[in-house]
Structure 1
Amino acid sequence: MTAKATVYVSSTCPYCTMMTNYLDELNVPYETINVSTDPEAGQRLVETTGQMGVPQTQFNGQWILGFDPAGVKAALDA
């Protein structure tokens, strides 16, 4: 099974870059949605997760908040 992630980022977030770099290292395909340039996506994100911070990554049906390598590994193993 090929997993694909959706990573919500902002333009100035170093942890967002760390998350996308980590996914690159694991060869996990992902789509990025920049909430700085798409405020409607940011609002939908807050309504969905109740969290305002980024990165937030939807992966294999679960949400990973922040830069969380262990969470990514757990989602990959799920």
Structure 2
Amino acid sequence: MNSVTVYTTAQCPYCVMLKNFLSEQNIPFNEVNVNTKPEMMQKLVQTTGQLGVPQTEVNGQWIVGYDPDNI
């Protein structure tokens, strides 16, 4: 079973596109809204060096942005 976590904000259109894509592909995922959990934003910056969302962790590999080809 794949482990997929999507880091999002409420006002991010690419986050919605990514979640829709995962749902359409029947890929279960956890969502972490960094607006409500600012400490997770710090984790993202420390881990990937990127401030933007969406960022997706798939089995320990990071994908930045809306990138369905790599997911």
Instruction: Using structure 1 for the length normalisation, give the TM-score.
Output: 0.86
CA RMSD of aligned residues (A): 0.8
Tell me the equivalent position of 2:58.
Answer: 59
SS of the residue 1:37 aligns to: coil
Within 5 A, what are the aligned runs for 1:19-38? Answer: 19-38=18-37
Q: As a proportion of its length, which structure holds more helix?
A: 1
SS of the residue 2:26 aligns to: coil
Tell me the equivalent position of 1:49.
Answer: 48
Instruction: Using structure 2 for the length normalisation, give the TM-score.
Output: 0.94
Instruction: Determine whether 1:39 maps to 2:50.
Output: no
Aligned equivalents of 2:14, 2:54: Cα separation in 1: 7
Larger gyration radius, structure 1 or structure 2: 1
Tell me the equivalent position of 1:76.
Answer: none
Show structure 2 runs of 5+ residues with no match: none
The alpha-carbon deviation at position 48 of structure 1 amounts to 0.9
Which runs of 4 or more aligned residues in structure 1 lie more than 2 Å from their structure 2 counterparts after TM superposition? none
Identity of aligned residues (%): 54
Whether contact under 8 Å (1:10, 1:36) holds in the other structure is: yes
Q: Name the count of aligned residue pairs.
A: 71
Higher relative contact order (CA 8 A, sep 6+): 2
Show structure 1 runs of 5+ residues with no match: 73-78
